[in-house]
Amino acid sequence: MGDRRARDLERAVAAVRAAALAVARLGDPASFAAAAVVEKGGRGPATVADLASQAVIVQALRAADGAQAAIVAEESAEDVDALGGGPLWDLVVRAVRGLDAGVTVADVRALLATAAPTPACGRCWTIDPLDGTKGYLRGGQFAIALALLEDGVPVVGVLGLPRLGGAGDGSGAGVLVAAARGRGAMQAAMDGGPWTRVAAHAWRPGAPIRLAGSVERAHSTTDSIEAALAAIGPVSAVRVDSQAKYGLVARGDADVYVRSSPDRTYREWIWDHAAGVLIAEEAGATVTDLRDRPLSFAEGRRLESAGGVLCAPPALHAAALAALGVAAQ
């Protein structure tokens, strides 16, 4: 693994593993004090775990990549302060100190102030430090998502899934699912071990359909999606938070992931999809919006031209488009 793309993947994996360790050191989120969570309105909550994870990832990327790539991430020091989350800083520092004993509040603030306002041309890392924060808080699935874009195209993606089992080693300690463009998708145990290939399920017409759906009903029109897909075959829902849904499709644990916001004006954030899209595609799935158009990550911090998301093996992708009543363009 001596070329640049392989080195990028290695540093991304190392950064996500470090972030997962920082989150694990915080312990059970049910024990958090009220000061460990701030509400971002329609954007949901942010916790000490979100902030510590992002600080650790940025620190790892800067150490490996210097200033060669822009960073676009979900959380920011300014947001935390504006939302009255000042008491969070000492908690974040405590979590990060488990990996870097010398870190200070000023260091953490600087790490969380490095995000670029929009993706730059060339190399750009996108970070969702804790995707599915509500799932994390309730003890469900969440993901630590890191992707590298080159001219708006995802070329490296890593999903850290600390509460997902099945890496093949029997540890049950969580998994990493990762991909580099053109090299396939793979997984390994969160705490190390060998990498193994993963592949989307070879769905056939008439077969049962396992739909990876959102736990939060407000996130997607899951009920109407289930009803539409029932015209293709019997549907069972696998409800999980976060980009874990892409991981399930990539591993063959689910057949399809459909995202259709109840708010037709809503546009997805790029960090919510970049890593998962690449991993699913490298595992053999097709990912488009609901008009059968490729997702564009070169439009800013949101997928401005995308109307929803459809991720499935090719045969099911085509059938799902028809069942959902969307003409391919």
Highest mean pLDDT of the ranges 21-35, 67-81, 172-186, 209-223? 172-186
Q: Which of 47, 114, 126, 133 is catalytic?
A: 133
Does any domain span residue 329? no
pTM of the shown model? 0.93
| pLDDT confidence of residue 34 | 67
Measure CA of the first residue to CA of the last residue in the chain; give whole Å.
Answer: 39
Q: Which residue among 166, 198, 230 closes a domain?
A: 198
- Number of separate domains in the chain: 2
Give residue 95's pLDDT band: very low, low, confident or very high (50, 70, 90).
Answer: confident
What is the rounded CA–CA span in Å between residue 129 and residue 147?
Answer: 11
Instruction: Note whether 144 and 23 are within 8 A (CB).
Output: yes
What is the rounded CA–CA span in Å between residue 212 and residue 313?
Answer: 13
| pLDDT confidence of residue 283 | 98
**Residue 50 bears catalytic tag:** yes
- Summarize pLDDT for 109-165 with one digit per residue, the tens: 999 986 667 776 688 999 999 999 989 998 999 999 999 999 999 999 999 999 998
Instruction: Note whether 117 and 111 are within 8 A (CB).
Output: no
Question: Which tokens belong to 288?
Answer: 């488009």
- 260 and 285: one domain? yes
Helix 88-96 / helix 48-65 crossing angle, nearest 10 deg = 50
Does any domain span residue 83? yes
Residues 193-210, mean pLDDT to the nearest whole number: 95
CA neighbor of 178 nearest in space, from 194, 195, 191: 195
| pLDDT confidence of residue 165 | 85
Give residue 177's pLDDT band: very low, low, confident or very high (50, 70, 90).
Answer: very high
**Residue 3 bears catalytic tag:** no
Does any domain span residue 225? yes
- 265 and 167: one domain? no
- 157 and 225: one domain? no
- 240 and 168: one domain? no
Q: Which of 113-117, 127-131, 205-209, 282-286 has the lowest mean pLDDT?
A: 113-117
* Domain extent for 277: 209-323
What is the rounded CA–CA span in Å between residue 293 and residue 304?
Answer: 12
Question: Which tokens belong to 65?
Answer: 């990549």
| pLDDT confidence of residue 37 | 83
Q: Which of 8, 50, 241, 289 is catalytic?
A: 50
Is a pLDDT exceeding 60 seen at residue 220?
no
The per-residue pLDDT of the chain, averaged, comes to: 88
More confident residue, 166 or 253: 253
- 166 and 110: one domain? yes
The CATH number assigned to the domain holding 278 equals 3.40.190.80
Question: Which tokens belong to 287?
Answer: 């990912």
DSSP 3-state of 83 = coil
Give residue 7's pLDDT band: very low, low, confident or very high (50, 70, 90).
Answer: very high
- 16 and 105: one domain? yes
CB proximity list for 48: less than 8 A, separation 6 or greater: 26, 32, 36, 37, 88, 91, 92, 95
Q: Which residue among 143, 166, 198 closes a domain?
A: 198
